[in-house]
Amino acid sequence: MNNNALIIIAKFPEKESVKTRLKGLMPDLKRLELYVSLLEHTVQKLKSIPGADTFIAYAPASAGEYFNRFGTRLIALPEGDLGVRMFHAFREVFHAGYQKAALVGADIPDLSAPVIQKAFELLSDNDVVYGPARDGGYYLVGMGKLIKEVFEDVPWSSDQTLKKSLEQAKKSGCSSAFTETLSDIDTIEDVRRAGLEDMADP
């Protein structure tokens, strides 16, 4: 067991639940293919980072058989909003004895092992680390202890997500640091910018 835990948060690929902001802009099958491609790409890149144990935190809890294929440790997530689920994942790894933890989304094409390693380094001197996304959210959150407040009263999937999270961290007396800003894949513009236009074709 390493001291650091990396958590990749993921959903079972169903057309009702993944890449929903692309509904009507991409065929349903293409949306599913895009999500699965991003998930597989992310896991393969991040499953063997030196000094870290990788987990997939997945929903719904009944989807364990699907996620077993990735060969990582698994955390089944409860019902609830994104904040509830992220808090649960962090609580699980800290209770298991990890000293630092970072959680990332599965839809950031430019996410790499050096970004994750930088986050763990920053946690030596900061309570919380964020990877800012260009849309005002974040693609990464890391912490060296369980801080519930940063997951409370936050508008998820909004251009205010990171701003409000930082306010919550400050209110809790926590210091924050940042990794580089990256783009996630939420809109059709994101798809095109990432060079994934063929995924959007009928």
- Please report the pLDDT score of residue 5 as a whole number: 98
- Please report the pLDDT score of residue 31 as a whole number: 87
For 78, which DSSP code?
P
Give CA–CA dist 23/44, Å, rounded: 27
Query: For the segment 4-37, what is each residue's pLDDT rounded down to a tens digit?
Result: 999 999 999 998 788 877 777 788 888 888 899 9
Give CA–CA dist 136/141, Å, rounded: 14
Give CA–CA dist 184/200, Å, rounded: 16
Q: What is the pTM of this model?
A: 0.93
Q: Flag whether pLDDT at 197 surpasses 70.
A: no
Domain residue ranges of the chain, discontinuous segments joined by +: 4-195
Mean pLDDT across the stretch 106-133?
Answer: 96
Q: What is the mean pLDDT of the chain?
A: 92
Mean pLDDT across the stretch 68-77?
Answer: 97
CATH node for 4-195:
3.90.550.10
Give CA–CA dist 145/50, Å, rounded: 21
- Please report the pLDDT score of residue 23 as a whole number: 79
